[in-house]
Structure 1
Amino acid sequence: MGNDPITSVIFHLITPASHNWAPMPGRRTLVFLLWIIVTSCLVHAKQLAVVTDLANQTTNVSAAELIRLFNARVRNWTDGKPVIIVLRDPASVDMELVLRKVFNMTPAQARSFIQAHKPSIIVAGSDEAVLRFVATNRGAVGIVDLYSLTKGVKVVKIDGKLPVEQGYLLRGN
């Protein structure tokens, strides 16, 4: 076993000493606390995907292009269709990563920004609502949880990477 202190703690929590098989006092509590920490980190590690309608010819954007797109600096796609941005409520936990990495705004600033850019930015109540709108409206683009994806939309790569790949802009917490 290496000298990594975290590995040592986990090893000693789950493996009784060979000479003493009696449970370590408080082991269950420590394992439970460790489980809470690990699962809370996993819950907060979002994996989001940028999606467009199936007819949209865009398959890849750079991070800079994505930021310009979602900050309403790009008004039309290359085929001339107007861009319609569909987002979740800026105050929702699901939007924390997007606000930080794409908008660089607080929830209050994002709400004001959305108000100023209606009707080109729409707020949806759920990932399912984002997906339905994007799937049925040419030019729509949205951001949803990776695990909400359906066949009715197309995932857009960012800097050549899919949401499951390391380095994808909207991956992490």
Structure 2
Amino acid sequence: MKNLLLIACLCVVSFANAQAFRGKGDQKFQIGASFQDNGTGINGTYDFGVGENISFGVSSTYVLGVNDNLDADFGDRFDIKARFNANLSSVIGMDELDVYPGLSFSTKNFGGHVGARYFFTDGFGVYSEMSFPIAKYESGSLSSEEKLNNQFVFNIGASFNL
């Protein structure tokens, strides 16, 4: 039974005709879980295609599960970013898969991110993304609370075409 289910899933995925990034006017919404040192949270992004391989967007993260030994307030837990992506699905020749490196300006830092999204259908897919600070706005030693959303972060979740 397991083998039959696996074969059916592979057939459905192989016959799917989904396109990960369509270029100018394309809109993506993603919602998922965020993982980092001392906390886990929720992440949401919205990207809008402005060219064949370029998109601009916004991303926001709120850290829900913070370690008990931290005294993190709303300002430590919340982050919002303006972002730029180079969408490479047409470059790598896979319509279902979009690999996108990018840059972001947030309330905590100037950073970069690398992500990938795979679409099973025209409207639904999955994504994973890694983001990291390049230049932090606060200089010197940061407290553990200030490091929330100001360190390496891994996101994974669902992606939707709008």
Q: TM-score, normalised by structure 1?
A: 0.26
More helix by share: 1
User: Which structure has the higher relative contact order (CA within 8 Å, separation 6+)?
Assistant: 1
Higher strand share: 2
What is the TM-score with the length of structure 2 in the denominator?
0.27
